A = this chain, B = another copy of it.
Amino acid sequence: MKKVKGSPRGTRRRDVPLTEAGIHAAALRLIDADGVEALTMRKLATALDANPMSPYHHVPNKDALLRGVTRMVGAQFRTVTLEDAPWQERIRLLATDFRTLAHRHPNLMAYSFSQPDIIQPEDPFWAALIATLEASGVSHEEIPQVAALMCAVVIGVLIAELSGALHQWSNLKPTTPAAGEDWSPDVGPEEDRMFRLVLDTIIAGLESRLAAAGDGEDIRRGVSPEAGP
CB pair B197–A169 under 8 Å, yes or no, is no
CB pair B141–A152 under 8 Å, yes or no, is no
CB pair B220–A209 under 8 Å, yes or no, is no
Distance between Cα atoms of A94 and B175 in the complex (Å): 23
Distance between Cα atoms of A139 and B74 in the complex (Å): 38
Q: A177: shortest Cβ distance to chain B, in Å? A: 9
- CB contacts (< 8 Å) of A169 on chain B: these are 116, 119, 144, 147-148, 151-152
Instruction: Judge if A80 is at the interface, Cβ distance under 8 Å.
Output: no
- CB contacts (< 8 Å) of A173 on chain B: these are 121, 130, 143-144
CB pair B160–A151 under 8 Å, yes or no, is yes
Closest to A177 in B: B141
Q: A217: shortest Cβ distance to chain B, in Å? A: 12
Instruction: Judge if A145 is at the interface, Cβ distance under 8 Å.
Output: yes
Instruction: Count residues of chain A with CB under 8 A from any CB of chain B.
Output: 69
Instruction: Judge if A19 is at the interface, Cβ distance under 8 Å.
Output: no
Q: Which of A116, A163, A206 has the most CB of B within 10 A?
A: A116
- CB contacts (< 8 Å) of A114 on chain B: these are 110, 114, 159, 163
Known contacts A203-B205, A208-B208, A228-B187; A113/B159 CB under 8 A: yes
- CB contacts (< 8 Å) of A200 on chain B: these are 205, 209, 220, 222-224
- CB contacts (< 8 Å) of A156 on chain B: these are 152-157, 159-160
Q: List 18 A-B contacts (CB under 8 A).
A: A110-B114, A116-B168, A143-B173, A144-B171, A145-B197, A147-B169, A148-B170, A149-B166, A152-B156, A152-B165, A152-B169, A154-B156, A197-B220, A200-B220, A201-B209, A201-B223, A204-B205, A205-B208
